[in-house]
Amino acid sequence: MGLASLSSISLVGLNGHLINVEVDIGDGIPSYILLGLPDSALSESKDRVRSAIINSEEEWPRNKITVSLSPAWMPKSGSGFDLPIALSIIAAHGAIPLAPEADSVFLGELGLDGEVRPIRGILPSLLAAKSLGMKRAFIPFKNFLEASLVSGIEVVPVTSLKETLQILRGGQIPQHFQEESETVTPASDIDLMDVVGQSASRRALEIAAIGAHHLLLIGPPGTGKTMLAERIPTILPALDSEQGIEVTAIHSVAGKLLNSTGSNSLPPFVSPHHTTSTAAMVGGGSHQIKPGAASLAHHGVLFIDEAPECATGVLDALRQPLESGEVTISRASGIVKYPARFILVLAANPCPCGRSSGKGRGCTCSSLQIRRYLQRLSGPLMDRIDIRLLVLPPSRLEMATATKSESSAVVRSRVVAARDTQRNRFANFPWHLNSQIPAKLLRTDFLAEKAGMNLLLSEMDMDRLSARGFHKVLRVAWSVADSNQHQIPTITDVQEALSLRQSLGHFS
């Protein structure tokens, strides 16, 4: 008979909470009782833990086993508590001492043979353990590269329950744990140079990348809308270490990094299919609330092709994240927030048949059909799109001079220079991008020159710009000014920003 306890981490969104895993072995009919609001995956831990202990040549107590996960009021989910439960049972049975492990956390799923298998959410769990004062973390070996991104806490990767017991009994950590410790950053094999012609579109992409502005690309099939969108990450600045850890943490919680080689400095590019549900787009779930495509695209690009074909309400669910930069999901179990600050890129055909371009390409759609098709993109959503671009097929001349196109590296250098200008301008503010300037300050501290402001006010007077549209154009004008190395937006900068919003002509 005995009592033992170990610490683990439970994630609610990206926030980790310290969980005390207590095991009591007492008199009574042999049984296994699990307390602490476990979900179905955690409730099934009994058979996994029992088989793992027996197959690790340890003794399973033939007594009443009570496992308590506290705080009891907090819902627990996932199989990551298998390892601490198994170790606590063995310790309560008197087989290992746990006194020196008061400042350690244990995370890992157990196979029936005692293997410690990878789990999702290792990175945010270790960040939480570090902030809570933990000094040591036992984790699955296959999560080691992800865990190596966290400094300030000793990480002990283990491959099996038997190996973990050997370490706790005073054995040495096997040296093979230090092998494969380098993170690998995959290189992108796409380049803006691949795009033939499309000078206006390339300019729009550069402005969007400078200030992190949202885009709508409308054009016939085959004009390069998807190619353009896919190359936006290649002209964005590389993620810094803080951004890389934040992006990696989100993907870890979503289970996208179980076989990953570590952090990636390339901004993420997420392209959900147009049949994606609202929950998959913004996140959701019942017991474990997972991030959706909007959060997976954090610090990167969220591209939605065939946007008018999305189900009703899916795109409109993005309206709140576009304004706040985060997704808030409310469930009976609690409220979870995930960051979601991304560049939204929508692509659409100009009409149901796709051939309407204003150049007589044989479109058979009526004006009513075209209007109904484009009205699937709601007015409130469209008002949040900074740049609206008509993408037309490249001309014969553009096809002939395709080899003269600039590479992503060249464009990215200009984007990085413009981002540095913004960082210096907003050094005393909590934001660093033109698209994040609050509306109030746009009317007081970050004005364009007088002629440019008069132009925007005239557009509002003629009801061609909403109040939100006014601020959107002014933010884009600042990005144009940074591209042109102007101290403040000039009338020409404002005109270009306005044309980028109104370039759809009869499609708007």
Indicate whether 389 and 490 sit together in one domain.
Answer: no
Round to the nearest angstrom and report the end-to-end CA distance of the chain: 75
Beta-carbon-side half-sphere exposure of residue 7 (alpha carbons within 13 Å): 21
Residue 234's closest CA among 388, 407, 420, 419? 407
Residue 92 lies in a domain: yes
Indicate whether 460 and 409 sit together in one domain.
Answer: no
Residue 186 lies in a domain: no
Query: Which amino acid type is present at position 223?
Result: T
For 253-281, what is each residue's pLDDT tens digit? 998 875 555 567 889 999 999 999 999 99
Q: Give the distance from CA 365 to its chain's centroid.
A: 38
Expressed as residue numbers, the domain containing 78 is: 2-178
Indicate whether 163 and 216 sit together in one domain.
Answer: no
Indicate whether 456 and 391 sit together in one domain.
Answer: no
Quick one: pLDDT band at residue 179, thresholds 50, 70, 90? very low
Residue 184 lies in a domain: no
Whole-angstrom Cα distance, residue 467 to residue 301?
26
pLDDT higher at 53 or 331: 53
Whole-angstrom Cα distance, residue 388 to residue 350?
12
Residue 185 lies in a domain: no
Residue 294's closest CA among 309, 314, 266? 314
Residue 4 β-bridge partners? 23
User: What DSSP line would sit under 218-256, residue for residue?
Assistant: E--TTSSHHHHHHTHHHHSPPP-HHHHHHHHHHHHHTT-
Indicate whether 108 and 157 sit together in one domain.
Answer: yes
Q: 402 Cβ partners below 8 Å, 6+ apart?
A: 196, 197, 394
Indicate whether 423 and 446 sit together in one domain.
Answer: no
CATH classification at residue 277: 3.40.50.300
Q: 323 Cβ partners below 8 Å, 6+ apart?
A: 384
Report the pLDDT value the prediction gives residue 98, as an integer from 0 to 100.
67
- Angle at 286 (CA atoms; ends 285, 287), nearest 5 degrees: 110
CATH classification at residue 26: 3.30.230.10
Whether omega for the bond prior to residue 350 falls within 30 degrees of 0, making it cis, is no
Cβ count near 57 (within 10 Å): 10
Residue 183 lies in a domain: no
pLDDT higher at 264 or 464: 464
The yes-or-no verdict on residue 420 having pLDDT over 70 is yes
Indicate whether 480 and 442 sit together in one domain.
Answer: yes
Whole-angstrom Cα distance, residue 172 to residue 116?
18
Where a domain ends, among 124, 147, 178?
Answer: 178
Q: What value does the mean pLDDT take over residues 62-66? A: 93
Residue 386 lies in a domain: yes
Quick one: pLDDT band at residue 94, thresholds 50, 70, 90? confident
For 195-251, what is each residue's pLDDT tens digit? 887 888 999 999 999 999 999 999 888 888 999 999 999 999 999 989 999 999 999
Indicate whether 293 and 382 sit together in one domain.
Answer: yes
Whole-angstrom Cα distance, residue 478 to residue 493?
8
For 68-90, what is each residue's pLDDT tens digit? 999 998 888 889 999 999 999 99
Indicate whether 69 and 173 sit together in one domain.
Answer: yes
Mean pLDDT of the chain: 89
Cβ count near 18 (within 10 Å): 17
Q: Would you give the DSSP letter of residue 303? A: E
Residue pointed to by tokens 């934001």: 431
For 332-388, what is each residue's pLDDT tens digit? 777 899 999 999 999 999 888 887 765 556 788 888 888 888 889 998 999 999 999
Q: Backbone dihedral region of 21: left (phi > 0), alpha (psi from -120 to 50 degrees) or beta?
A: beta
pTM of the complete model beyond 0.85? yes
Residue 158 lies in a domain: yes
Q: Among 105-119, 298-312, 492-506, whose mean pLDDT is lowest?
A: 492-506
Q: What value does the mean pLDDT take over residues 446-464? A: 93
User: What percentage of residues in the chain have a pLDDT greater than 70?
Assistant: 91
Quick one: pLDDT band at residue 284, thresholds 50, 70, 90? confident
Beta-carbon-side half-sphere exposure of residue 97 (alpha carbons within 13 Å): 4
Report the pLDDT value the prediction gives residue 289, as an integer from 0 to 100.
86
For 388-413, what is each residue's pLDDT tens digit? 999 988 877 767 766 667 889 999 99
Please check whether residue 425 is in contact with residue 436, taking contact to mean a CB–CB distance below 8 angstroms. Answer: no
Please check whether residue 178 is in contact with residue 395, taking contact to mean a CB–CB distance below 8 angstroms. Answer: no
Q: 446 Cβ partners below 8 Å, 6+ apart?
A: 437, 474, 478
Report the pLDDT value the prediction gives residue 332, as an integer from 0 to 100.
74
SS (H, E, C) 129-165: HHHCCCCEEEEEHHHHHHHCCCCCCEEEEECEHHHHH
Indicate whether 484 and 419 sit together in one domain.
Answer: no
Residue 125 lies in a domain: yes
Paired tokens of 263:
């952090």
Report the pLDDT value the prediction gives residue 176, as an integer from 0 to 100.
54
Helices (H) and strands (E) in the chain, counts: 21, 18
Domain count within the chain: 3
Where a domain ends, among 428, 460, 475?
Answer: 428
Where a domain ends, among 428, 453, 485?
Answer: 428
Please check whether residue 232 is in contact with residue 205, taking contact to mean a CB–CB distance below 8 angstroms. Answer: yes
Indicate whether 283 and 401 sit together in one domain.
Answer: yes
For 129-164, what is each residue's pLDDT tens digit? 999 999 999 999 999 989 988 999 999 999 999 999
Indicate whether 20 and 74 sit together in one domain.
Answer: yes
